[in-house]
Amino acid sequence: MVLHVRESTGGTRERIKTVALELFTEQGYEKTSLREIAERLNVTKAALYYHFRSKDEIVSSFVEDRLDRMDALIAWAEKQPATLATRRELIARYAEAMFASEQAAVMRFFEQNQTVLKSLSAGKQMRERMMRLADALARGDDSPAAQLRAALSLFAVHSSWFAVRAPNITDAERKALGLEIADELLARIADQGE
């Protein structure tokens, strides 16, 4: 006798997100339909609609997860002194969150589907959080150079997903390279808390 255990709503949503992400990455966002997602999950389209009414809602759920992580980083940074050590820890935590195993596929999706992200309100929220993270990195030095270095340090970590095109580079090597470049930029921001 086979027992069927009913999945929790959260488990089903996560399965949908995982399969949608696979299809979006394989075929591209525009070429993937909700029907294809439902078929790969072996559920009806109606069952899929119960959790997500559109592909945009699925993408927004990826962004919301990332926004939550970014909000936690910002809250942590705001309680720390404006020092190089704090900046290094903040960028290390950002890199850790971006390179976590479940985030790797999301980062690849974002890289491959940037135009989709730009058109969604969630994409605008993510850009706003990135600027808040940059502000946290530059805190204590309000010079234009510090603001630019802080933003570029985040971009160094983030862009290591798509700007580094060396064959056979590992995610760990990408992360280390992004952090090395970020550290060079952060070291030039004036400390105010030491």
**Digit-coded pLDDT (tens) for 22-70:** 898 888 888 999 999 999 999 989 989 999 999 989 988 888 888 888 9
Confidence of residue 192 (pLDDT cuts 50, 70, 90): low
Architecture of domain 55-186: Orthogonal Bundle (1.10)
From-to residues of CATH 1.10.357 in the chain: 55-186
Check residue 91 and give its pLDDT.
97
- CATH entry 1.10.10.60 includes domain 9-51: yes
From-to residues of CATH 1.10.10.60 in the chain: 9-51
pLDDT one-digit tens code per residue, 95-134: 998 887 666 777 777 777 777 777 777 778 888 999 999 9
Share of the chain above pLDDT 90, in %: 52
CA atoms within 13 A on the CB side of 58: 31
* Whole-structure pTM value: 0.78
Amino acid at 37: I
What lies within 8 Å, CB to CB, of 2 at 6+ separation is none
Check residue 1 and give its pLDDT.
34
Residue 3 predicted with pLDDT over 90: no
Count of C-beta atoms within a 10 Å radius of residue 47:
13
